[in-house]
Amino acid sequence: MFSATTRRVDQNTSTALNRRFETRLKETISRYEGADNNAIDQRLRELDKEWNIERVIETEAPTTIALGIALGVLNDRKWFALSAFAAGMVLLHNIQGWYPLLPVLRRLGFRSQYEIEQERNALRVLRGDHKAYLSYSIH
């Protein structure tokens, strides 16, 4: 019933889209192999600003809930059902990882935090961060 937090998005994403994200990661890492540290640092700063899929859902869902409330108050009480539906979908996403807009958001290119961290860690390895860590932890 409960999905692991780190893998719930890709478990609820089609195999084809997951492959697309894996390919994109490999292409990005290949592009930065042999790059200078300034280029890698720039990409890491870009990753700091990238919206992950959870952030998008955490923004979209309350907006939909607020819209349902506003329409319910101003137009017709039936619109309150939109708020209830959106709240239920957020709960379902938090428990199981599924969300009605997940396929659409994934097709738009939004990645999970886990996927973003995979790229971040690979870039740090390319930059040589692991060498500094190993020398620090050994001595």
Walk along the chain (139 residues) and give the pLDDT tens digit of each residue.
Answer: 677 777 889 889 999 999 999 999 999 999 999 999 999 999 999 999 999 999 999 999 999 999 999 999 999 999 999 999 999 999 999 988 899 999 999 999 999 999 999 999 999 999 998 876 555 555 5
pTM exceeding 0.95:
no
Residue 3 lies in a domain: no
**Residue 5 placed within a domain:** no
Please choose, from the candidates 105, 124, 106, the residue with its C-alpha nearest in 3D space to the C-alpha of residue 47: 124
Q: How many domains does the chain have?
A: 2
Q: Looking at the structure, tell me whether residues 94 and 122 fall in a common domain.
A: no
Residue 43 lies in a domain: yes
Cα end-to-end span (Å), the chain: 45
**Parent domain of 35:** 14-50+112-139
